[in-house]
Amino acid sequence: MTQPEVRISSRAIDRIASGHPWIYRSDVKSESAAEPGAVVRVLDRKGRFWGQALWSTQSQIALRMLTREERPFDRAFLTERIAQAAAYRPLVAEGAQAYRLVASEGDLLPSLIVDRYGDCLALQTLSQGMERMKADVVAILTERFGPRAVVERNDVAVRALEGLPEQKGVLAGEPSPEVVIEENGVKFHVDILAGQKTGEFLDQRENRSVTRCYARGRLLDCFCYTGGFALTLAPQCESVVAVDSSSEALEAARRNGELNGLDNIEWRQANCFDVLKAADHDGLRFDTVVLDPPAFARHKSSHESALRAYKELNLRALKILTPGGFLITCSCSFHVSESDLLAVIAEAALDAHRTVVVVDRRTQSRDHPILLTMPETHYLKCLILRAL
């Protein structure tokens, strides 16, 4: 059977040549009938071969480049790339029990995510092409890692852009795996079938560790989820107030507090904007504040409103920090750059009449690789600031 072909515009050729692996539908000039998720040959308008890509019949990202050469996209191909991803992890996640084993484009496996939680694996197949390969991925993971369970966490809205249903469940192994992992010496129950993301925010693992040397006194952890920062920093602090709007997350956080024998944390279900406002109004002061909100700019169109939200949060946090206090402030919105974030915090600092020192500028943990030629892979910003 001949492999389907897709011809693309010269603008898209420039994009591939610059190292970006996505081609948008508006740059597709002609296509031979290809099934959803097929592997196609990518050609320029003159018919020259540029590589192979996963084809989507639905998404605005019509093509995701797989290779620049002609070779079958099969189990052997997947096995090789998963092995390459796995071989890199001991260098960047040494000793970690939970980390991202395969990070999509960052590991040259577009739209495939595999997270490791101890002896269990959670995966996401986020395009028509990877969805077609799901059974092979599970077989490879099972053979190579012998996991207790492999679950799929395809209950994410982006799948709708590919015309794929939201679904989750156990694909192999134990039917309802209980998972406890240790991260930076802290134990966490992880709900790999129902927690946010695939269970935990693994991209903050290194930031949670690094911030231990700054946290002290009274800590306010805003957007605490299951207690990632609060539990890691609590031993350094006199007291912790940890806030999240999700009752499920807080229930898990409380269990995690008990599991670690930590009794200096008050878990509070509330809107963090309200808590920060009330703290300022009531004259409460904290020595350390963590802000790790959800992405406020999921699309380019929400850039301005996102900046307003980041400014408000950071302004309120700076107002309630004691002199010399630390603000650990994050953004996981790709559409808000580090310089955007620094600029709004500078405005917030001026409004709050605080002088701020940039102690460290950080990003996602290194098991979430950043591709030099694909800005979308650099999404998390974590600034450690000191307010004089």
Ligand X SMILES: C[S@@+](CC[C@H](N)C(=O)[O-])C[C@H]1O[C@@H](n2cnc3c(N)ncnc32)[C@H](O)[C@@H]1O
249 binds ligand X (CB under 6 A): yes
The single residue listed with the structure tokens 């129950």 is: 189
Closest C-alpha among 190, 270, 185 to residue 234: 185
CB of 226 to ligand X, least distance (A): 6
DSSP assignments along 4-33, one per residue: PEEEE-HHHHHHHHTT--EEEGGGEEEE--
Tell me, residue by residue from 192 to 221, as one string, x for binding to ligand X by CB under 6 A and - for no binding. Answer: ----x----x--x-----------------
Residue from 228, 257, 325, 369 touching ligand X (CB under 6 A): that is 228
Task: Give catalytic status of residue 237 as yes or no.
Answer: no
CB of 30 to ligand X, least distance (A): 42
d(CA 190, CA 351): 40
CB of 292 to ligand X, least distance (A): 4
Select 6 or 328, whichever has its Cβ closest to ligand X: 328
Q: Is 244 exposed, middle or buried (0-12, 13-18, 19+ CB in 10 A)?
A: buried
Q: Is 277 exposed, middle or buried (0-12, 13-18, 19+ CB in 10 A)?
A: middle
d(CA 2, CA 274): 60
CB of 227 to ligand X, least distance (A): 7
For the segment 282-321, give every residue that binds ligand X (CB under 6 A).
292-294
Closest C-alpha among 29, 40, 36 to residue 5: 40
Active-site residue, from 224, 237, 332, 382: 332
| Neighbouring C-beta atoms of residue 166, cutoff 10 Å | 12
For the segment 84-123, give every residue that binds ligand X (CB under 6 A).
none
Contact status, residue 289 vs residue 219, Cβ threshold 8 Å: yes
Residue from 115, 183, 244, 367 touching ligand X (CB under 6 A): that is 244
Helix (H, G, I), strand (E, B) or coil at 241: strand
How many chain residues bind ligand X (CB under 6 A)? Answer: 20
Residue from 73, 214, 223, 326 touching ligand X (CB under 6 A): that is 223
For the segment 269-288, give every residue that binds ligand X (CB under 6 A).
271-273
Contact status, residue 247 vs residue 271, Cβ threshold 8 Å: no
CB of 10 to ligand X, least distance (A): 40
266 binds ligand X (CB under 6 A): no
For the segment 327-366, give every residue that binds ligand X (CB under 6 A).
332
- 194: its two tokens: 């129902």
Name the site residues for ligand X (rule: CB under 6 A): 196, 201, 204, 223-225, 228-229, 243-246, 249, 271-273, 292-294, 332
Residues taking part in catalysis: 332
